[in-house]
A and B are shown apart, each in its own frame.
Chain A
Amino acid sequence: MNNDNALSRILGKFSGAQKFILVSLRVIVGWHFLYEGYVKIVSEGWSSAGYLNAAPGPFAEIFHNMAESPWMVSAVDIIMSWGLTLIGIALILGLFTRLVSVAAAFFLIMFYLSNPPWIGVQFMAGEGSYMIVNKNLVELTAVMVLLVFPTGVIWGFDRIFVKE
C-alpha cells in the first residue's frame, strides 16, 4: 500500500491535462477489450480454434497444438471471452489497474506472437499491412504505459486502497 501511496502522490502532481489523457487512454483500451470479449461471449458457437489453426510464424506449432485438443480449445475460448470482458470492465473502472494491465499485456503478447508481422512471415489476412509494428504492438505499448502510470489511484476504484 505504501507503493500506492507513493504513486498517488507522484501522479497527483501531474497537470489536469496529463491526468485526463492518461485516464482516457485507460478507459479507451478498456472499452476495446470489453467489446472484443462481449462479442465472443454472445456469438453463438464462437471458437478460437480457427484462429489458432491459422497461426503462422515461428510459434505456429504451439498454437496449432492448442487447437488440436478440444479440451484446450474450450479452455482458451472461456479464458479469452471472459478474460477480455473482465479486463475491459476493470480498466474502465480503474480497479486493480496494474494487475489487469499485466493480464492485458499477456493477451496482447499472445495475439502478437500468434500472428507476428515479421519480415518473411506470411501473416493472416487482416485489415492492413504491417512491418514489425502492428496494432497489437501499439496497444501493448499503450497497456505498458497504463502499467507504469496506474491511474486507478487518481480517477478509479484503486483509490479506495490508498491510505492517506
Chain B
Amino acid sequence: MKAFDKLCSRAICLPLKDVDTDMIIPAQHLTSTSREGFGENLFERLRAASSDFIFNHGQAKGSQILISGPNFGCGSSREHAVWALMDFGIRAIVAPSFSDIFANNAAKNGLLLIRLDADKVSELDQQLSNFSQTLSIDLKEQVLSTSNGIKHSFVIDAFNKERLLKGMDDLDYLVAHMSDIEAFKSKQKIFLNSHSAG
C-alpha cells in the first residue's frame, strides 16, 4: 500500500449527495480480473451524459483531491470504485460522510478520506471549484489548507492514520497475528457440516 504523508493539489468539486458506486464505476466494467485500468471508465455515464460534467474539465486530470457531498460511495461493495478513483489519480476525498464499505475499501488502498462538517465542505467547494487554487493536506498534523488561507483541522482515528502514514497493510498485520488466530479458531465451535457435499 502506498504511504500518505502530504499532498498539495487542485481539487475536483462534485457537490452531490449519495454518489453511488454504480456512478463511480458502472457494473459492465467489473469483468476485469485486474486491479488496474479502471480510471478510464471512472464516472463513465456522467462523463458521457454531459460535456460540462466536472470530470470532463481539462483541469480534472492531474487533480488529486475530490470534494463531494454526504454518503459518498454508497451502494455496492465493489472495491473497483476505489481502484478507479486512484487509477484516475485521486489520493484524497473530502466529504461530510462516507458509506461504511467504501470507507473500509479506501483504507485498504491508501486513499485518504477526510470527514468535515457540511458547511466547511461547501466553503471549500466554493473556493476550489474553478481550479484556480490548490488544497494542501498534511496528514501528520491533521490539517488541510487552501492556497488563499482557509485552514481546517480534521479528525482521523489513530490506527488508520498510522497505517496511512507508514503505508502499512492490513494483511501483513493479520498474518503477523496468525498464531493468535489459529489458537482462537481451534477453540471455536461451529456447526458447519462440511463433508456432505464432498
A binds B: no
Instruction: Report which B residues bind A (CB closer than 8 A).
Output: none
Instruction: Report which A residues bind B (CB closer than 8 A).
Output: none
